[in-house]
Amino acid sequence: MSGTPQRSSGPGRLLIAVYAVFALAASARAGVQIATKFDEAPVAYLLSAFAALVYIVATVAFARPGAAARGVALAAVTVELLGVLTVGTVTAFDPGDFPDDTVWSLYGRGYGFVPLVLPVLGLLWLRRTWSADRGVSESP
């Protein structure tokens, strides 16, 4: 009965909700930045857009069943973790390269460090649910 939980149910429901909030927030922020003041800090704004894309992909991949979506989710969450660590470290030591904030600046401090915690929870949840798709597709 119990088995491996599905990615989009149980705690996954909450995880996807938080991802969706970040997908929305990052997209809106990047959209406004690029539309109204792109020349001020093009690198930071392109990075904002990239972060938004990663959150959108992760949200959709977590919500969809199947092994393919699982792989996409793993890739997105890995990129997200590397992104927040890289951008966080760069902005902590030399904020000059990023004159305006992104979601990942200072390890996501502007967002209560949720951007730092989220990919870790995402990876843990993927590990927890890893065999769920196999269970569905290969069950006799």
Partner 1 sequence: MVAVVDWAVIVASLAYAAWALVAVVRNRPPREPYVVGAGVVELLILIQAVVAVVLMIADGTPEETATFIGYLLMNLIIVPLGLFWALAEKSRWGTSVLVVAALVVPVLVVRMQQLWDAGAA
Which residues are CB-neighbours of 67 under 8 A, at least 6 positions away? 133, 134, 137
Among 15-23, 43-51, 97-105, 119-127, the segment contacting partner 1 (CB under 8 A) = 15-23
Residue 135 interacts with partner 1 (CB under 8 A): yes or no: no
Which secondary structure element, helix H or strand E, spans residue 53, and what is its range?
Answer: helix 42-63
Residue 60 interacts with partner 1 (CB under 8 A): yes or no: no
The Cα–Cα gap between 119 and 124 comes to 9
The Cα–Cα gap between 103 and 111 comes to 7
Closest contact distance (angstroms) between CB of 17 and partner 1 is 4
Among 21-29, 38-46, 77-85, 91-99, the segment contacting partner 1 (CB under 8 A) = 21-29
Q: How many CB atoms lie within 10 A of CB 33?
A: 22
Query: Six-digit token pair at 68?
Result: 């393919």
Tell me which of 7, 23, 26, 29 binds partner 1, using CB under 8 A.
29
Residue 124 interacts with partner 1 (CB under 8 A): yes or no: no
Closest contact distance (angstroms) between CB of 32 and partner 1 is 5
Residue 25 interacts with partner 1 (CB under 8 A): yes or no: yes
Closest CA to 7 of 102, 138, 127, 137: 127
**Do 107 and 113 touch, CB atoms closer than 8 A?**
yes
Closest contact distance (angstroms) between CB of 25 and partner 1 is 7
Binding site for partner 1 (CB under 8 A): 9-14, 16-18, 20-21, 24-25, 28-29, 31-32, 35-36
